[in-house]
């Protein structure tokens, strides 16, 4: 290894720091000056030296001035923080999700971090990532035709990584970029929902395994993930309720779903499911299960397994009926039907599991039929008023 000697630092900034170049002693004894400038400064009597990673004296001077400003304002936390990589901060985000048992860690956080953020930002030092760097990333994602909502989710994770880094002392607060103007407005108004006639047609076109889940989704507005995780221990037919556990819901709160009594589609479907379960797979805990072979005496590898994917049967029913809607549209439909039936909005929100009114409003969409009904009501009101007025005039 070649020995390195140092030139005497050139003082600057009234003795608060200095800029210098290091020298290398070659094998023949000659000395060679390294082009990269280094800086030296003092903090509470301790000497700090670091490379500026530039051969421009002016840039090195700006680097030293920035350090002196950080020291004088109390924002300097050591040179080690400047070497923190974004990949390390992103790993802390995943650890934070795991610690808090966040449901979205596998479906959202990990995939976006590992497939999007780490490949682009991972090897960058956190102190070097500023707003222009992030806007360049956003421009790249738009060129890839990524949705605005997807880009916002990625930026939210990146912002969280910086905040955690600041809290954990891995970067200084001054190194956290301002994300305020970076989050874009999303066009997230939902407009898809099922009319009752469409529900009946599509329901009859689905196989028995998927049909039961479809019925439950239509009458309750529950999410697909909540429905697929239901176990028989949560179904109380006598009490006419299904009770979701906190770990099954997106908000992380337990919820009670009313079933109604006999004669109701939802109640009767669960009674039918219970009979099928007893005949085909009594040991399976799942309410919505795969029956495999219809013959209970014939062995089937899939019998009793949890239904986690209905896309194949769904696509087939779409082709058969010509009704092309999403399963998640059932959630919007469930909310709208509750409100139309006169259920108080607060109760409807408890049933559907919506935490905030703003989200609830996005699902409770008025369709053209609602507008036509409003026009009819207005016509009837004015017609009745004019009729009464004419009658009084005739008297």
Q: What is the mean pLDDT of residues 210-239?
A: 93
CA-derived radius of gyration, the chain: 32
Summarize pLDDT for 260-316 with one digit per residue, the tens: 888 888 999 999 999 999 989 999 999 999 988 767 677 888 899 999 999 999 999
Q: Is the pLDDT of residue 84 over 80?
A: yes
Residue 328, CB half-sphere, CA atoms under 13 Å: how many? 4
Summarize pLDDT for 191-202 with one digit per residue, the tens: 678 999 999 999
Q: Is the pLDDT of residue 366 over 80?
A: no
Q: What is the mean pLDDT of residues 122-139?
A: 92
- Please determine, looking at this structure, whether the domain spanning 197-364 carries the CATH number 1.10.443.10: yes
Q: d(Cα 314, Cα 174) in Å, to the nearest integer?
A: 51
Summarize pLDDT for 49-69 with one digit per residue, the tens: 888 888 899 988 988 888 888
Q: What is the mean pLDDT of residues 133-141?
A: 95
205 vs 331: which has the higher pLDDT: 205
pTM above 0.85, yes or no: no
Give yes or no for a contact between 265 and 215, defined as CB atoms under 8 angstroms apart.
yes
Q: What is the mean pLDDT of residues 251-264?
A: 86
Q: Is the dihedral of CA 341, 343, 348, 352 positive or negative?
A: negative
Q: Is the pLDDT of residue 184 over 90?
A: no
As a whole number, the mean pLDDT across the chain is: 84
Q: Which residues pair with 241 in a beta bridge?
A: 236, 258
Give yes or no for a contact between 335 and 348, defined as CB atoms under 8 angstroms apart.
yes
String of DSSP letters for 83-146: G-BHHHHHHHHHHHHHHTT-GGGTTTHHHHIIIIIHHHHTTSBGGG--HHHHHHHHHHHHHTT-
pLDDT confidence tier of residue 228, bands split at 50, 70 and 90? very high
Q: Is the pLDDT of residue 100 over 90?
A: no
Q: Which stretch of 135-139, 179-183, 372-376 has the lowest confidence by average pLDDT?
A: 372-376
Alpha helices in the chain (DSSP H): 57-73, 86-99, 109-112, 118-121, 131-143, 148-167, 196-205, 208-220, 224-228, 265-280, 311-321, 329-340, 345-352, 357-363, 368-394
Q: Is the pLDDT of residue 153 over 90?
A: yes
Give yes or no for a contact between 179 and 129, defined as CB atoms under 8 angstroms apart.
no
Q: Which of 329, 340, 328 is nearest to 193 (CA)?
A: 329
Provide the percentage of residues in the chain whose pLDDT is more than 90. 38
Give yes or no for a contact between 214 and 206, defined as CB atoms under 8 angstroms apart.
yes
pLDDT confidence tier of residue 374, bands split at 50, 70 and 90? confident
Q: Is the pLDDT of residue 189 over 80?
A: no
209 vs 80: which has the higher pLDDT: 209
Q: What is the mean pLDDT of residues 155-183?
A: 88
């Amino acid at each position: 290894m070649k020995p390195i000697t140092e030139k005497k630092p050139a003082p600057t900034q009234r003795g608060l720091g200095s800029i210098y170049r290091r020298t290398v002693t070659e094998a023949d004894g000659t000395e060679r000056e390294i082009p990269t400038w280094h800086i030296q400064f003092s903090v509470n009597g301790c000497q700090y030296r670091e490379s500026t990673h530039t051969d421009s004296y002016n840039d090195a001077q700006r680097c030293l001035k920035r350090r002196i400003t950080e020291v004088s304002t109390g924002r300097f936390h050591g040179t080690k923080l400047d070497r923190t990589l974004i990949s390390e901060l992103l790993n802390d985000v995943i650890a934070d999700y795991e610690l808090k048992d966040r449901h979205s860690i596998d479906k959202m956080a990990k995939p976006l971090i590992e497939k999007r953020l780490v490949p682009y930002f991972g090897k960058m030092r956190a102190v070097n990532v500023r707003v222009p760097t992030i806007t360049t990333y956003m421009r790249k994602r738009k060129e890839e035709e990524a949705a605005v909502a997807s880009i916002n989710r990625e930026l939210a994770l990146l912002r969280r990584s910086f905040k955690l880094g600041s809290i954990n002392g891995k970067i200084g607060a001054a190194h956290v970029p301002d994300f305020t103007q970076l989050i874009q407005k999303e066009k997230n108004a939902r407009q898809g929902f099922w009319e009752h006639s469409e529900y009946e047609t599509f329901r009859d076109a689905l196989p028995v395994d998927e049909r039961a889940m479809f019925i439950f989704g239509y009458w309750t507005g529950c999410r697909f993930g909540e429905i697929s995780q239901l176990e028989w221990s949560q179904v109380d037919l006598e009490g006419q309720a299904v009770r979701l556990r906190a770990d099954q819901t997106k908000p992380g709160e337990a919820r009670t779903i009313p079933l109604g009594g006999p004669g109701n589609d939802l109640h009767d479907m669960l009674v039918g499911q219970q009979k099928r379960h007893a005949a085909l797979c009594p040991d399976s805990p799942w309410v919505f299960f795969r029956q495999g072979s219809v013959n209970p005496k014939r062995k089937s590898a899939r019998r009793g397994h949890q239904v986690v994917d209905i896309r194949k049967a769904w696509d087939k029913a779409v082709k058969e009926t010509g009704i092309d809607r999403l399963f998640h549209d059932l959630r919007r439909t469930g909310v709208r039907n509750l409100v139309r039936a006169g259920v108080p909005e607060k109760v409807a929100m408890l049933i559907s599991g919506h935490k905030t009114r703003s989200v609830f409003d996005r699902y409770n969409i008025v369709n053209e039929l609602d507008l036509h009904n409003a026009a009819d009501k207005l016509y009837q009101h004015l017609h009745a008023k004019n009729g009464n007025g004419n009658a009084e005039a005739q008297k």
